Amino acid sequence: MIEATNLIKEFRVTKKESGLRGALKGLIRPERETVRAVDGVSFRINKGEIVGYLGPNGAGKSTTVKMLTGILHPTSGEILINGVSPHRERTRVVQNLGVVFGQRTQLNWDLRLGESFELQRRIYRISDDRFAAQMDTMRSLLGLTEFENTPVRQLSLGQRMRGDLAAAMLHSPSILFLDEPTIGLDLTAKQAIRDFIREVNTLHQTTIILTTHDLEDVEQLCKRLIVINHGRVVEDGPLEDLIDRLAPYRQIEIDFVQEVPVIEIQGVDVVEVNGNRMVLQFDRRAFSAASVISAVTQRAAVRDLSVREPEIADVLKRYYQDSA
Ligand SMILES: Nc1ncnc2c1ncn2[C@@H]1O[C@H](COP(=O)(O)OP(=O)(O)O)[C@@H](O)[C@H]1O
Ligand SMILES: [Mg+2]
């Protein structure tokens, strides 16, 4: 349904000058250089999938989304959306796509939200019946009624995002690209957006490509992750597989009755000590939590303990750290 093959996108940019050239800035002709924002990305996404497209800032996520949606032309490589190339047949492909950029609204600041939807209806030539039906669905999923008559510039960020989502869905696209749709929102607003994404996916089997830095979004929504770093795909697979492969450990946080010396158990690492608290980590393929707990309780009196499974953050840490 979505096929990207060896996508490359380069930008020509003005080189940042330093030293003597920096001091002479404005007098000399600036040097230009080529940066490769996307460097050979390939993947296939099937109908109905919710895929998390993740990676640190500057990894090339938005550039990929812009190519997939026909906004940018790839420098090279091939994209097929239901067999059709978005940059060669943009008008045909966009009928099937919805896009939301959390950082930048697609709505018109000068219109009321409802008027923005009306504009969308005309752009996509949505029939009256279909528009009315889709508006009903969006109103009930996103609770739009209370601010439909508010000018877009006066909407709160959460309301604006809900408006953007509705606008992107009015022509009933079968694929929805969401680029940081929860950025800057409070917890309640974030949850509303997540519930919406899940609903849309179950109701219509809508394929969703979600870019986010919010790991709760990923945890709640994405079965599959594609991770990119420096413009390349570094991971692609089910969330559980990534955790199994990249974070095959488990941690036990122990609260001892009193401060104890560091506990030494073969194959178990002490990763944190803080007063009476100690965090142990072990390979969960080699040890059961029960065996570690029993070894610990034989050595010292335990007040409380909890077992912590690795999560998505533990998997992504390595990529986010090396680029930070
Ligand atoms: N229009 C552009 N002109 C020049 N460089 C760009 C442009 N858009 C993106 N880039 C560069 O490409 C890289 C990837 O950007 P982007 O796709 O926005 O990353 P992400 O969305 O993962 O944070 C960055 O180094 C960014 O500065
Ligand atoms: Mg981005």
180-210 pLDDT, tens digit per residue, is: 999 999 999 999 999 999 999 999 999 999 9
Residue 324 scores a pLDDT above 50 = no
- The pocket around ligand 1, CB under 6 angstroms, is made up of 11, 13, 35, 37, 55, 57-63
Residue 65 scores a pLDDT above 60 = yes
For residues 177 and 324, the model is more confident at: 177
Q: How far is Cα 211 from Cα 180, in angstroms, rounded to an integer? A: 5
Instruction: Using the structure block, give the residue that is written with the tokens 């912590």.
Output: 308
Name the residue of 35, 101, 227 to mutate for ligand 1: max ligand atoms within 8 A of Cβ. Answer: 35
Name the residue of 7, 9, 11 to mutate for ligand 1: max ligand atoms within 8 A of Cβ. Answer: 11
Q: If residue 11 lies in a helix (H) or strand (E), which one and from where to where?
A: strand 2-14
What is the reported pLDDT for 215?
86
Residue 92 structure tokens: 């045909």
Question: Could you give the 3-state DSSP secondary structure of residue 314?
Answer: helix
**C-alpha 112 to ligand 2 mean position (Å):** 27
Beta strands in the chain (DSSP E): 2-14, 32-45, 50-54, 76-81, 97-101, 175-179, 207-211, 224-229, 232-238, 249-256, 268-274, 277-283, 302-308
Q: Which stretch of 21-30, 160-169, 218-227 has the lowest confidence by average pLDDT?
A: 21-30
One CATH from 3.65.10.10, 3.40.1790.10, 3.40.50.300, 3.90.1150.10 for 2-8+38-243: 3.40.50.300
Q: How far is Cα 60 from Cα 145, in angstroms, rounded to an integer? A: 36
**Phi, psi of 215, deg, nearest 5:** -70, -25
Q: What is the CA radius of gyration of the chain?
A: 25
- Model confidence at 322, in pLDDT bands (50, 70, 90)? low
Each residue's pLDDT tens digit, 113-144? 999 999 999 999 999 999 999 999 999 999 99
Q: pTM of the entire structure?
A: 0.86
Q: What is the DSSP string of 268-301?
A: EEEEEEETTEEEEEEETTT--HHHHHHHHHHHS-
Residue 220 scores a pLDDT above 80 = yes
Domains 2-8+38-243 and 248-323 share a fold: no
Quick one: fold of 248-323?
Alpha-Beta Plaits (3.30.70)
Q: Output the residue whose Cα is nearest ligand 1's atom 16.
A: 60
277-283: strand order across its sheet:
268-274, 277-283, 249-256, 302-308
Q: What residues are neighbours of ligand 2 (ion), with CB under 5 Å?
A: 61-62
Tell me the average pLDDT across 37-58.
Answer: 96
CA 317-287-235 angle, to 5 degrees, is: 30
Q: What is the average pLDDT value for the chain, to the nearest integer?
A: 92
Per-domain residue ranges of the chain: 2-8+38-243, 248-323
